[in-house]
Amino acid sequence: MNSLTPTTLFDMRPAQVLYEIKDLQKQWRDQNFRYTEAQKKLYADLLSLRYERVQFFVDNDMVQKGPKVVKKVEPKQDDDD
């Protein structure tokens, strides 16, 4: 990690977690599809943070589950007798 990242993983914003995961995946490809032991641990920690974040949204019903169903509302007609 560079010097601009927070000191611990738990101080990271959700977007930073995603950027770090993406950076590690790029390094993995550049290193002949192998992680070092330190990278394996960091990747596992970042993934667990990501899973916790997603689970938070699921637990608090902040995600859509299933297909979106749009109710069609028929326009009301005025009865002028």
Model confidence pLDDT, tens digit, residues 36-75? 999 999 999 999 999 999 999 999 999 888 888 888 888 7
Q: Is 40 left (phi over 0), alpha (psi -120 to 50) or beta?
A: alpha
| Cut 0.75: pTM above it | no
Q: Give the highest mean pLDDT range of 5-9, 19-23, 67-71.
A: 19-23
- pLDDT for 81 equals 57
Residue 12 has pLDDT above 70, yes or no: yes
- pLDDT for 1 equals 45
